[in-house]
């Protein structure tokens, strides 16, 4: 199995390491031409969504990414990746890829709680899962057809819509690869 990892900015290497551990091959997407490679799934890593969005526009990568995801490419998006996927960003007019019918709120936990470890996380289909949040967004609202996979204190932090899985936290950082396994099982 070959998984593409968006590698224009952010925590893409950590995802690659988890995928290698699980026996998957990876290909880095750094420019539009890389999108012509063959791959079975896509990971959109955490980082800074405004920077990633700007680079994806400058590199002319948005239309092809949008098309592949709309056509059913299994996609796992984490943190900034969730913001890239969202159809709406609260209090902003920006839309990046825009294939996931949810509204996300960026930097949503205030300054003090911007980054935290949530030990009692639960992820549908995976079970108990400790979660690392880093200046994380949360999902403010979801449209029909979007399933909630995880919530923390009443706030949605994991969703699935068709072949897109998106989480507000960083499953690549805790040394627990079960969310990546869950993603690979969908392929
Ligand atoms: N705060 C970042 C953003 O708005 C997301 C943070 C992250 O990916 N860890 O893009």
Please give the structure tokens belonging to residue 101. 């019918």
Joined together, the tokens standing for residue 79 give 């943190």
Distance between CA 169 and CA 2 in Å, rounded?
23
Residue closest by Cα to atom 2 of ligand 1: 48
The DSSP symbol for 17 reads H
For residue 167, the CA-to-ligand 1 centroid distance in Å is: 12
pLDDT at 141 (0 to 100): 98
Q: Is 170 a catalytic residue?
A: yes
pLDDT for position 115? 86
85: helix, coil or strand? helix
Considering its fold, how many domains does the chain have in total? 1
Supply the pLDDT for residue 167: 98
Q: What is the pLDDT of residues 128-150, one digit of tens each?
A: 999 999 999 999 999 999 999 99
Mean per-residue pLDDT, 58-85: 98
The token duo for 163 is 């072949």
Q: Does residue 113 register a pLDDT over 70? A: no
Which residues form the domain of 168? 2-186
Longest dimension (CA), the chain: 42
Report the share of the chain in percent with pLDDT over 70.
98
CATH number at residue 68: 3.40.50.880
For the CA of 48, the nearest atom of ligand 1 = 10
């Amino acid at each position: 199995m070959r998984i593409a990892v968006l590698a224009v900015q952010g925590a893409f290497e950590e995802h690659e390491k988890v995928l290698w551990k699980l026996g998957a091959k990876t290909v880095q997407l750094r420019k539009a031409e890389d999108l012509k490679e063959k791959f079975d799934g896509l990971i959109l890593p955490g980082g800074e969504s405004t920077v990633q969005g700007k680079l994806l526009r400058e590199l002319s990568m948005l239309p092809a990414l949008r098309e592949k995801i709309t056509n059913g490419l299994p996609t796992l998006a984490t943190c900034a990746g969730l913001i890239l996927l969202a159809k709406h960003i609260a209090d902003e007019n920006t839309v990046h890829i825009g294939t996931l019918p949810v509204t996300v709120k960026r930097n949503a936990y205030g300054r003090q709680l911007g980054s935290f470890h949530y030990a009692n996380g639960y992820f549908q289909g995976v079970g108990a899962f400790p979660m690392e949040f880093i200046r994380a967004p949360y999902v403010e609202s979801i449209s029909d057809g979007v399933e909630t996979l995880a919530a923390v204190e009443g706030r949605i932090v994991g969703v699935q819509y068709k072949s897109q899985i998106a989480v507000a936290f960083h499953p690549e950082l805790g040394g627990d690869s079960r969310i990546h396994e869950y993603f690979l099982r969908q392929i």
